[in-house]
Chain A
């Protein structure tokens, strides 16, 4: 796939594929996936007893498998799936299956650009990861919380380093879990480890730990913060300074700590999904300033508009100064951007997307039960669709590409960005 600048950004609608046209009759087609550039759709097809195949824009690929699942386009446009042949599993990337096979494969992840593809594997009852077809040198008796660094240069997971006999609650308390980076576990182990995360250079790893049943903390490169808390949530690195921030619970409320120091007072009923801006200057998070009221906070400053049911899918703009999220009140969803709740309540709203200049926000929405469309800068697109994927901004941010299904056709629509409210 070409870089986004080379995609077809000429305004207008391009019908890509008539959904009824298949090169090969299938027993069924599973759900469709659209490629990032909008030029392709793919689905898993079942061809009776012969097995499963992949169908791209109606063209059946020749190679069949016993089973295919988790069909996804990588950000670079490569089509991936987890496939089974002769009871063993591997990853299919475009036309090639990774040479090594495993007893089980799941949890495929992509680096930000899609250059690296990783997955979780189990082989002979041992667990680890495989990166671009190469498995970790060491596998573990159990592993989870698998993660691939954004730049694709490293992988990590929580691994079990000590055996726990059945119902042995005492061995467990001695600390049987650690974090392995590219298969190599830290020397230290903990009662529990969760959500390892890499810094921007993929050189350091932070995670949540529980030292005892009651003492939670944050560990960075195997070293725990000196403070412990009744609970913590996922840490994250400041991409500019390398500082580690994590929500911490104190006396029944949540605040934010950074490098072992409290930076936001523990006054929230919840505080999580925090994220630094790319320049590291702003720290954003979803917070509940009151029981059952949700909104965003930046550097501890809480937005004024709140939602009663929940706030989710926070997205920080590339400039780090703006953010958007999905809010829910009762059973209806809305978009909140820059402390303004956009007009319009929907049956569902997907994660908002910013343009690269941070000036425009768009999101996929569902309304009237099962009609889909896109909202851009607060304005609802004037047409709705049977199906629709997340909108994609053109690299300079003046156009939006819609990938949609309507009247039995998959189409790719490019429209100019409607002017923003403000």
Chain B
């Protein structure tokens, strides 16, 4: 198989598949949990309160508001930098946006300056290293970490590492870009099947707990 065919494969069918699995998987997770709650845990919906869902999301989305964020400033900075970069860099990277606009979506939107995206990529990689080291040396994290948790970090870091190398033309660009695309696709496709799914479940749990604390127990949950 030529490099070109391979490229077509990973940017074509494989990309479609990855996005389909990611979006479908996340939707399925959302629908499944909603169904479970309706069917098996009916009190959950009875106590949901929009106001407190939003309040809880907001309070935990702003660094240093929640008590636990204030207790560990370094971790807080790292986790916020990581998550912001993790989301922003792939979505708003010029090269990606061009794919969106020229390709399937046919829409164009605001892009990050390449240099910013480049720094964000570095941030994600460094943060992954930080998380990995933390899991190795902080006892309470180490105690509940197993090999899969490290694999998650590698899974997340790989598209960024390869993307960084490709952008800076380190190594064989063609190989690197394909590795970048493939690792990104694997990452996307794995989200629904691992704890990376906290991307969708996290806000759901947060919103429920925000409702219980806010609307039922009349107390802060942060």
**Interface, chain A (partner B; CB < 8 A):** 252, 269, 290-292
Interface centre among B40, B42, B43 (most CB of A within 10 A): B42
**Bound form: Cα–Cα A252–B42 in Å:** 11
Chain B residues near A291 (CB-CB < 8 A): 42-43, 46
Instruction: Give 7 nearest A-B pairs by CB, closest first.
Output: A291-B42, A291-B46, A292-B46, A291-B43, A269-B42, A252-B40, A290-B42
Q: What's the A-B contact tally at a CB cutoff of 8 Å?
A: 7
Write the B41-72 contact mask toward A (1 if CB under 8 angstroms, else 0): 01100100000000000000000000000000
A356 to B42 alpha-carbon distance, docked (Å): 42
CA distance A290 to B46 in the complex (A): 10
What residues of chain A lie closer than 8 Å to B46, measured between beta carbons? 291-292
CB distance from B17 to the nearest CB of A (A): 39
Q: Which residues of B are found within 8 Å of A290, using beta-carbon distances? A: 42
Residue of B nearest to A291 (CB): B42
Q: Chain B: which residue is nearest A251 at the CB level?
A: B40
Minimal Cβ-Cβ distance residue in A for B40: A252
Nearest-neighbour CB distance to chain A for B41, whole angstroms, equals: 10
Residues from chain B with Cβ under 8 Å of A252 in the complex? 40
Q: Roughly how many angstroms separate A291 CA and B38 CA in the complex, as a whole number?
A: 11
| Min CB gap B28→A, angstroms | 25
What are 7 A-B pairs with beta-carbon distances under 8 A? A252-B40, A269-B42, A290-B42, A291-B42, A291-B43, A291-B46, A292-B46
| Shortest distance between the CB of B210 and any CB in chain A (Å) | 20
What residues of A have a CB within 8 angstroms of the CB of B40 in the complex? 252
| Shortest distance from the beta carbon of B49 to any chain A beta carbon, whole Å | 14
Q: Which residues of B contact A292 (CB under 8 A)?
A: 46
B192 to chain A, nearest CB (A): 28
How far apart sit A238 and B43, CA to CA, in the bound complex (Å)?
Answer: 34
Bound state CA distance, A246 and B42, in angstroms? 24
List of B residues within 8 angstroms of A269 by Cβ: 42
Smallest Cβ-Cβ distance to A290: which chain B residue: B42
User: Which residues 4-50 of B have a CB within 8 angstroms of A?
Assistant: 40, 42-43, 46
Measured between alpha carbons, how far is A291 from B43 in the docked complex, in Å? Answer: 7
Whole-angstrom CA separation of A290 from B40 in the bound complex: 13
Minimum CB–CB distance for A291 against chain B, Å: 5
Residues of A within 8 A of B42 (CB): 269, 290-291
| Assembled-state Cα–Cα distance A87/B83 (Å) | 76
B42 to chain A: closest residue by CB: A291
Q: Least Cβ distance of B44 to chain A in Å?
A: 10
Min CB–CB distance A373 → chain B (angstroms): 35
Which residue in chain B gives the minimum CB-CB distance to A293?
B46
Query: Most chain-B Cβ atoms within 10 A of its Cβ — which of A252, A269, A291?
Result: A291
Inter-chain CA distance A290–B43, complex, in Å, is 10
The CA-CA distance from A174 to B42 in the complex, in Å, is 36
